[in-house]
Structure 1
Amino acid sequence: MGSLTTRGVVIMSPALLAWLGFTTTGIAAGSFAAYLMSMFGTTWWIAWLQSAGAAGFGWLGTSFSAAVGGTMGKIISTVCNVTVKNEP
């Protein structure tokens, strides 16, 4: 499960960033990214997401997103595969 999720995160990360509003031309007006920027200003993580949306993640960002995706996939799989037994 983890490797499938990891591949999905690496492939979907640029599409997800664009969907959130972190595009190659900057932050899209009226997007979730614009909302975050209006709420928090230009913090380090907004700047990092804007940079990743404009130029891609690079090897470090891709590795990080793959690790996060694999971990999240494992957690979700563990939570979803729990058997609950209801006894009267």
Structure 2
Amino acid sequence: MNITVENIKCGGCAGTITKKLTEIFDTENIEVNIEQGIIDIDIDESKRGELTEVLLGLGYPKVDSVHGLDSAKAKAKSFVSCAIGKMDQ
């Protein structure tokens, strides 16, 4: 399944996303396309809602799913996730 999200800026972001999704969904088949903001993960379609919530919690909401203050909060969370991803590299 793939999902397009906002706020992916670099390899640090991709690293955080990959690490967290690997832990939660117990799969290593994850690809993050930084330029297009697309995450491709090998999990069942029935887990799309859970995937969307996890990504939002990390600061990477599904495209056009948050607006205004919620969008600003997601962006702030993504900066933290990005920094953590950079430190883990």
TM-score scaled by length of structure 2: 0.34
Greater Rg, structure 1 or structure 2? 1
User: Which has a greater percent of helix?
Assistant: 1
TM-score, normalising length from structure 1? 0.34
If each structure's strand is expressed as a fraction of its own residues, which one has the higher value? Answer: 2
